[in-house]
Structure 1
Amino acid sequence: MMNLEFRSPAPADGEGDLASLRGDCALMAPHWAAPEKIASHPVSPSLIHGVTVPARSARLLEAMPDYGN
C-alpha cells in the first residue's frame, strides 16, 4: 500500500509566514545603509589574466544572439 501522506517542506508555524518576514524586513530597512554608487569603468582586455573558459561554454556564448549590449 502506498503512503499518500504529504508533508510541508518547512514547519508551518504562525511566526514563519511570508507576511511576517516582509514585516520584519520593513522594520529593519531603515537600519540598513545602501552603499554609495560606484561608477565602474571598462577594463582593458590586456589587463585580464588567468581567466579560462571551456571550449563548450565559449561556443555556447558565441552562438547566443547579440541584443546590442
Structure 2
Amino acid sequence: MSKHTAPRESEMSLAELRGDCARMAPHWVVPAKTATAPVTPSLIHGVSVPLASARLIDAMSEYGD
C-alpha cells in the first residue's frame, strides 16, 4: 500500500463481528483464577522509575483518594 492510498474498509460489519464472537464464546475456555501471593518489598530491587513518571504517579493520589 502506498502512502497515498487510503486503507480499505473492512468488509465485515460490526453486527457480523458481534455475531461471530457470540457463536465462538461457548468454545472459549476461561482459565481458573489463581490467587497470587504479594511480593515482599525486600525482594523488589533493580527497578528505576524516571523522575517525571514518579511525579505523575505521586500526583494521581489526588484523584483517587
Structure 2 unaligned runs (5+)?
A: 1-5
Stretches of structure 1 that go unaligned for 5 or more consecutive residues are 1-7
Q: Deviations over 1:33-66 (max 9, x none)?
A: 0000011221111112222100111111112226
Identity level (%): 60
**Counterpart residue identity of residue 23, structure 2:** L
TM-score with structure 2 setting the length: 0.72
Structure 2 CA distance, aligned partners of 1:29 and 1:40? 27
Question: Any runs of at least 4 consecutive aligned residues in structure 1 with deviations exceeding 3 A, and if so which?
Answer: 66-69
Which of 51, 57, 64 is residue 55 of structure 1 equivalent to? 51
* Count of residue pairs the alignment pairs up: 60
The structure with the largest alpha-carbon Rg is 1
- Cα deviation for residue 10 of structure 1 reads 4.3
SS in 2 for 1:46: helix
Higher helix share: 2
Q: Give the counterpart letter for 1:38 in structure 2.
A: T
Cα distance in 2 for partners of 1:19, 1:48 equals 47
Root-mean-square deviation over aligned CA pairs:
2.3
1:34 aligns with 2:20: no
1:1-69 matched pairs, under 5 angstroms: 10-11=8-9, 13=11, 16-65=12-61
